[in-house]
Amino acid sequence: MLLERGAVKVYSVDVGYGQLAWRLRSDERVVVMERTNARDLNPRDLEDTPEVAVMDVSFISVTRILPALEELLAPGGDCIVLIKPQFEAGKGCVGKKGVVRERSVHMDVLRNVGTYISSMRDLVLMGANFSPILGPSGNMEFLFHLRKGGSPPVAMDEGFLRDLVERAHRELLGVPQEETDRTEGVL
């Protein structure tokens, strides 16, 4: 999608190998960085300083990648981070088939990632929403908009989190608030 929207260059970083579609791999605007752990990246590894970044990681918390991203991103640069609760929550919080269904776990995940971001030197939370697309197993996922530098307009207080999680459950799962409260016993 970045290329379709006019990106001049895209760095595709993956700790694995052979995951990138041939159409993207063969595009001269894509710099393929396979077998590369994003946690270990530093500005010397890239030809340019990215002004925009997108993060979609699995089997690891986004908080493990954010410090490297903070160093790589240009001042004033934006980042969209996909938050996958199944990789952020503890093992005891993840249900069958790796699906997180409980609103309280979604809130804990968002709170923990938001708190981590607020402790960072340069990255600030500019906005948050839920992804309109459920993950492959039916997992609800969330999007954080970060910026390097500036003042955060979003306060990640309990009311904000509750509203975000409630909207996600209502719009993605069609579960009214009362029914969710009754079945999960939270909030």
Q: What domains are defined for the chain?
A: 1-36 (no CATH), 50-184 (3.40.50.150)
98-157 confidence digits (pLDDT tens) = 888 889 999 999 999 999 998 988 999 998 999 999 988 889 999 999 999 977 666 778
25-84 confidence digits (pLDDT tens) = 999 999 999 999 999 999 999 999 999 999 999 999 999 999 999 999 999 999 999 999
Instruction: Provide the pLDDT for residue 85.
Output: 93
Instruction: Provide the pLDDT for residue 141.
Output: 95
Instruction: Provide the pLDDT for residue 112.
Output: 94
pTM for the model? 0.86
| Residue 177 host element (H or E) | helix 177-184
Instruction: Provide the pLDDT for residue 94.
Output: 83
Residue type, 177: Q
Q: How confident is the model at residue 187 (pLDDT cuts 50, 70, 90)?
A: very low
Instruction: Provide the pLDDT for residue 13.
Output: 94
pLDDT at position 161 over 60: yes
Answer yes or no: are the C-beta atoms of 106 and 168 closer than 8 Å: yes
| Residue 130 host element (H or E) | strand 123-130
pLDDT at position 185 over 60: no
CA separation (Å) from 77 to 60, 83, 132? 23, 19, 24
Q: How confident is the model at residue 181 (pLDDT cuts 50, 70, 90)?
A: very low
Instruction: Provide the pLDDT for residue 154.
Output: 66
